[in-house]
């Protein structure tokens, strides 16, 4: 009964979405306020219906109702509770339901928070959002029904792929989807603005927080996925330039460009047509990502099932939305009035360069990701494009961007004095140089580019620190003055400093792990010691253990630093039931200088184990940098100018709660 309610809710949601698309769109065209007014309630209803369907599917998982085919294929009664829940989206059908649920959620959010939007713009934004729902709900109904029943019902389910049974992976898809789908709002705003033929500072102020939110979710989702790959897959890598990773990375790059260009629209009323294009491209790349991951053209842990009908359907959706929006753009963009003028050396100029380099970098990733698919479909030759390609293309495009990041914010709008900006940065430049030389002294045998990369990261961090000190006058003004200025800095300023510093920290981590990673593969017997990254790792022996749905051999290791034992870590070979699938768990001991990372392989000889161990220098900086970017995004989002209905600053200072 419950699954049927869910099924019925999806059908109703589809009808509601059709209504949400057609009626307000027509109403905005006829300038009929009654018709436009149905947009918000329809968006809310659509969200409630999909949430109900999602709850029904979750209930089927929790109650292990194996008469539902989806539950039978992806769950098992002995699975821990959290993985019964995450199993709901650990499969194709359920994850698509989550996808449209988020889409409807964002639409409903515009309905709720968009009170101060002009009526026609609000109606059109919600209508466009509804049209995306129509496409994906019909996709679910026609090709991917999560509520299909089995008769007779099997007694036990097949279980979820064990490598997906992991806490980080339980929340990775929802975050990533929130990012992908969040960009749909920027897209809907862009399409609505093209129809309206009006783009102004207010438009940019509405779009930017949504883009920021989507970008933050993407950042968090990508970072979690990367972290998971690092500790779960046991190859010691954190990023593989895998097409599926690129699928999430491309929208992230373009969303980053969009965040910056929206500032120019807001502050200077320039770059309007370009910003609209970026908004369309960002969501288009999300759709491309969905296509790559969901269609089965790629085989990976993400391609749950290969069904050509689904691939063709998503490709169709892709063509309609990308083709349609770009055609609309070509037709309507020339009507958007060009805005303020600026000299090439100005903050606008710097942001244009930022945008060009980010989109060029994204294009190089795009070609590297799609070229193999294209070549195979044309010539039949199978190739793989791996890290060397991306290092050679993405790298050179990003280096100038990173060099410019600290300079841009110091330039003034319209026309800037480059020399004056550089003068204010000399301390940061010296700091970067010192860090680079220190890196060279510390690890002189590494590749020559590595100290340069570390210096580049330090340049960003130092420039952010300088900015913070200059703006709060820490050290030069009395403490209470500095503290007041510290508290008074706008959220956007904190956001910029933290996010830019986060990029710097991330760059240092990436350079360190790429250049100075140590790897040792050896056969060990109990009592034997190996040296990695200046730490000693002693193999203590192995013993069998039993988990809730697996059995394992656990190999224990003693990690010592400077002759003193620090801790005991273990690596396991697990065999999961009911699938009999083996997995390997990694043992990691984190130090400030980096991670000791131990993975066991097969048994070798009597009592012996093949052991692969790594030292990953400064790897924590990768996730820490990502976290800083996320926090920076949050600070910027809570800037007072975006606050819904934010009143004008009170004439008299009033006590405000901490932000």
Partner 1 sequence: MAMTRKQQRGAMIGAGLGALGLAAGLVLYALSDTITFFYTPTDVVEKGVQPGTRFRLGGLVADGSVVRGQGEVVSFKVTDTKDTMPVTYVGILPDLFREGQGVIAEGTLDEGGNFKADTVLAKHDENYMPREIADALKKQGRWKEGEKKPEGTTK
List interacting residues with partner 1 (CB under 8 A). 161, 163, 299-301, 306, 338, 341-344, 352-353, 356-357, 359-361, 363-364, 367-368, 371-372, 381-386, 388-389, 392-393, 396-397, 415, 521-523, 573, 579-584, 599-602, 604, 610, 612
Shortest CB 375 distance to partner 1, Å: 9
Shortest CB 161 distance to partner 1, Å: 5
What angle do the packed helices 479-488 and 449-472 form, to 10 degrees? 110
Judged by CB, which is closer to partner 1: 174, or 601? 601
What angle do the packed helices 2-30 and 119-143 form, to 10 degrees? 140
Q: Are 141 and 7 in contact (CB under 8 A)?
A: no
What whole-number distance in Å separates Cα of residue 417 and Cα of residue 402?
20
Shortest CB 583 distance to partner 1, Å: 6
Task: Output the furthest CA–CA distance in the chain (Å, rounded).
Answer: 83
CA–CA distances in Å: residue 588 to residues 226, 340, 426, 597: 16, 54, 40, 5
Structure tokens at 301: 């842990």
Q: Which helix (H) or strand (E) holds 481?
A: helix 479-488
Judged by CB, which is closer to partner 1: 356, or 566? 356
Of 272, 252, 256, 254, which Cα lies nearest the Cα of 264?
Answer: 272
CA torsion 18-23-26-29 (nearest 10°) is -120
Shortest CB 149 distance to partner 1, Å: 22
In DSSP terms, 349 is beta-bridged to: none
What whole-number distance in Å separates Cα of residue 570 and Cα of residue 551?
15
Shortest CB 288 distance to partner 1, Å: 17
Shortest CB 406 distance to partner 1, Å: 20
Judged by CB, which is closer to partner 1: 134, or 397? 397
Judged by CB, which is closer to partner 1: 58, or 393? 393
* Burial class for 424, CB neighbours closer than 10 Å (0-12, 13-18, 19+): middle
Shortest CB 236 distance to partner 1, Å: 11
What whole-number distance in Å separates Cα of residue 517 and Cα of residue 236?
9
What whole-number distance in Å separates Cα of residue 577 and Cα of residue 575?
7
Judged by CB, which is closer to partner 1: 115, or 582? 582
What whole-number distance in Å separates Cα of residue 530 and Cα of residue 522?
9
Of 631, 333, 365, which Cα lies nearest the Cα of 499?
Answer: 631
Shortest CB 248 distance to partner 1, Å: 18
What whole-number distance in Å separates Cα of residue 481 and Cα of residue 483?
5
Find the length of the chain: 659
Indicate if the alpha-carbon torsion angle 116, 117, 123, 127 is positive or negative.
negative
What whole-number distance in Å separates Cα of residue 358 and Cα of residue 250?
10
Shortest CB 182 distance to partner 1, Å: 27
Judged by CB, which is closer to partner 1: 73, or 84? 73
Helix (H, G, I), strand (E, B) or coil at 66: coil
Strand order in the sheet with 535-546: 529-532, 535-546, 550-561, 564-576, 581-585
Structure tokens at 543: 């013993």
Shortest CB 198 distance to partner 1, Å: 20
Judged by CB, which is closer to partner 1: 371, or 479? 371
Of 544, 539, 546, which Cα lies nearest the Cα of 609?
Answer: 539
Query: Which single residue is written with the structure tokens 């130092």?
Result: 462
Q: How many CB atoms lie within 10 A of CB 310?
A: 20
Shortest CB 441 distance to partner 1, Å: 31
Judged by CB, which is closer to partner 1: 200, or 242? 242
Judged by CB, which is closer to partner 1: 48, or 353? 353
What whole-number distance in Å separates Cα of residue 117 and Cα of residue 575?
56
Q: Which helix (H) or strand (E) holds 20?
A: helix 2-30
Judged by CB, which is closer to partner 1: 155, or 381? 381
Judged by CB, which is closer to partner 1: 368, or 617? 368
Helix (H, G, I), strand (E, B) or coil at 77: coil
Structure tokens at 106: 């964002």
Shortest CB 574 distance to partner 1, Å: 9
In DSSP terms, 567 is beta-bridged to: 559
Shortest CB 89 distance to partner 1, Å: 17
Judged by CB, which is closer to partner 1: 300, or 560? 300
Shortest CB 410 distance to partner 1, Å: 20
Instruction: Examine residue 578 and say whether the peptide bond preceding it is cis (omega within 30 degrees of 0).
Output: yes
Q: Are 299 and 238 in contact (CB under 8 A)?
A: no
Judged by CB, which is closer to partner 1: 232, or 467? 232
Judged by CB, which is closer to partner 1: 125, or 160? 160
Shortest CB 389 distance to partner 1, Å: 4
Shortest CB 361 distance to partner 1, Å: 8
Judged by CB, which is closer to partner 1: 419, or 444? 419
Structure tokens at 117: 């939007």
Judged by CB, which is closer to partner 1: 368, or 491? 368
């Amino acid at each position: 009964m419950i699954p049927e309610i869910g099924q019925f809710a999806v059908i109703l949601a589809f009808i509601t979405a059709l209504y949400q698309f057609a009626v307000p769109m027509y109403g905005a065209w006829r300038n009929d306020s009654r018709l436009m007014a149905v947009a918000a309630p329809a968006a809310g209803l659509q969200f409630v219906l999909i949430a109900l369907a999602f709850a029904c599917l979750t209930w089927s998982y929790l109650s292990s109702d194996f008469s539902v085919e989806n539950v039978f294929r992806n769950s098992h009664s002995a699975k821990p509770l959290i993985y019964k829940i995450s199993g709901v989206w650990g499969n194709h059908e359920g994850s698509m339901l989550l996808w449209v649920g988020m889409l409807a959620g964002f639409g409903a959010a515009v309905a709720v928070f968009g009170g101060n939007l002009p009526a026609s713009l609000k109606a059109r934004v919600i209508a466009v959002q509804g049209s995306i729902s129509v496409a994906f709900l019909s996709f679910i109904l026609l090709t991917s029904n999560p509520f299909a029943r089995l008769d007779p019902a099997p007694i036990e389910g097949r279980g979820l792929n064990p490598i997906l049974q992991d806490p980080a992976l339980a929340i990775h898809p929802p975050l990533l989807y929130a990012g992908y789908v969040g960009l749909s709002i920027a897209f809907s705003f862009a399409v609505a603005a093209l129809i309206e033929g009006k783009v102004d500072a207010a438009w940019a102020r509405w779009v930017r927080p949504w883009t920021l939110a989507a970008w933050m979710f993407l950042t968090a989702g990508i970072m979690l996925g990367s972290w998971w790959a690092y500790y779960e897959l046991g190859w010691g890598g954190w990023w593989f330039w895998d097409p599926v990773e690129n699928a999430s990375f491309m929208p992230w790059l373009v969303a980053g460009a969009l965040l910056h260009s929206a500032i120019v629209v807001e502050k200077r009323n320039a770059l309007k047509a370009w910003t609209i294009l970026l908004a369309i491209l960002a969501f288009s790349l999300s759709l491309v990502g969905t296509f790559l991951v969901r269609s089965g053209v790629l085989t990976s842990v993400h391609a749950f099932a290969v069904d050509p009908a689904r691939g063709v359907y998503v490709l169709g959706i892709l063509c309609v939305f990308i083709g349609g929006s770009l055609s609309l753009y070509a037709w309507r963009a020339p009507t958007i009035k060009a805005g303020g003028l600026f000299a090439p050396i100005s903050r606008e100029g710097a942001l244009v360069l930022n945008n060009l380099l980010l989109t060029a970098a994204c294009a190089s990733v795009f070609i590297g990701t799609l070229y193999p698919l294209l070549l195979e479909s044309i010539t039949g030759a199978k190739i793989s494009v791996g890290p060397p390609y991306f290092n050679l293309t993405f790298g050179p495009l990003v280096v100038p961007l990173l060099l410019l990041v600290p300079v841009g914010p110091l330039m003034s709008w319209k026309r800037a004095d480059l020399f004056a900006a550089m003068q204010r940065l000399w301390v940061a430049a010296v700091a970067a140089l010192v860090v680079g030389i220190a890196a060279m002294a510390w690890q002189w045998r590494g590749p020559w580019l590595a100290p340069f990369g570390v210096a580049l990261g330090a340049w960003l961090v130092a420039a952010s620190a300088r900015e913070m000190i200059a703006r709060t006058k820490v050290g030069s003004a009395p403490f209470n003055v500095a503290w007041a200025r510290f508290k008074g800095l706008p959220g956007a300023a904190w956001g910029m400093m933290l996010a830019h510093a986060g990029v710097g920290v991330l760059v240092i981590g990436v350079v360190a792990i790429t250049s100075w990673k140590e790897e040792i593969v050896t056969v060990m017997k109990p009592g034997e010691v190996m040296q990695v990254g200046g730490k000693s790792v002693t193999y203590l022996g192995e013993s069998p253990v039993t988990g809730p749905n697996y059995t394992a051999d656990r190999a224990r290791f003693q990690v010592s630093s400077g002759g003193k034992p620090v801790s005991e870590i273990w690596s396991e070979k697990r065999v999961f039931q009911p699938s009999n699938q083996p997995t390997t768990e990694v043992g990691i001991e984190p130090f400030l200088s980096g991670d000791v990372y131990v993975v066991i392989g097969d048994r070798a000889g009597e009592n012996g184990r093949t052991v692969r161990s790594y030292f990953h220098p400064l790897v924590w900086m990768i996730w820490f940098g990502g976290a800083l970017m996320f926090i920076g995004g949050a600070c910027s989002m809570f800037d007072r100018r975006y606050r819904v209905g934010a009143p004008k600053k009170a004439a008299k200072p009033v006590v405000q709660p901490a932000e």
